[in-house]
Amino acid sequence: MEDSFTDEEKRGFYKAIYSRRDVRSHFISKPIEEKKLSKILHAAHHAPSVGFSQPWNFILIKDQETKKKIKESFDEEKKRSSQIVEEPKKSKYMSFKLEGILESPVNLCVTYDPTKFGPFVIGRSSIPEAGLYSVCCAIQNLWLSARTEGVGLGWVSILSNEVLKETLQLPEHVVPVAYLCLGYVNEFADKPDLETAKWLPRLDLKDVVYYEKWEDKENLDWKEIQDLIQTDLD
């Protein structure tokens, strides 16, 4: 395998990152080719993991009855969560389309199994959450691979994990981490939906990078990168 990337390959990589979207409302009925879905899953499975534990599993779902049960959980959880939001944001929140469970041809639940390879995993004894973080790395790989293949993906996080565990018959020790909707879309939006709706602003990079210590935003040892970060590199 060639170690370096060509300029064209680099541009493609960054294009996938910057054009990745959380898709909710743009799915079309065209099925995902099995070969393409396999490529996306392979990319997810090649994510980094603590102690090479590969603690993920991927549950593929297309049964409409299963999807309906998950959609019911979404509706209940969205209504419940709206109770902690005050007007006028509450009405705005309830108006958002935040899932594509029934519209997307493939649903996918990504799970975390802390028992893989036994109780001792290198790197997890000090930070037990590193196993969950590893699963998130797999999800990011999956998301970027899907975008590269022209497949939209939406992460549905307004769900009851208990409903997921019961519906998908997960063992007690297995944790559902992400419920994803995959499918072709009629467009990838220029900006994330919630940014377009002005729900929250995109933070500037300069406001989230510190130097050496928490909230230290100026440090002469990092002067060049500070100046670069002040510039819009997007």
Share of the chain above pLDDT 90, in %: 96
**Rounded distance, CA 223 to CA 160, Å?**
46
Q: Is the pLDDT of residue 209 over 90?
A: yes
Mean pLDDT on 132-144: 98
pLDDT band at 2 (very low <50, low <70, confident <90, very high): confident
Structural domains of the chain ordered from first start: 16-190 (3.40.109.10), 203-234 (no CATH)
The chain-wide mean pLDDT, for the chain, equals 96
Which tens digits make up the pLDDT trace of 42-67?
Answer: 999 999 999 999 999 999 999 999 99
Which tens digits make up the pLDDT trace of 4-27?
Answer: 999 999 999 999 999 999 999 899
Mean pLDDT on 213-221: 94
Q: Is the pLDDT of residue 143 over 90?
A: yes
**CA distances to 15, 50, 107, 121, 132 from 137, in Å:** 19, 10, 19, 17, 9
pLDDT band at 115 (very low <50, low <70, confident <90, very high): very high
Beta-sheet strand order (sheet of 106-112)? 56-61, 106-112, 175-184, 151-156
Identify the bridge partners of residue 59 per DSSP, sorted by sequence position: 109
Q: Is the pLDDT of residue 112 over 60?
A: yes
**Rounded distance, CA 56 to CA 45, Å?**
8
Cβ count near 138 (within 10 Å): 26
pTM assigned to the model: 0.94
- Which residue type sits at 169? Q
**Rounded distance, CA 19 to CA 151, Å?**
12
**Rounded distance, CA 183 to CA 103, Å?**
9
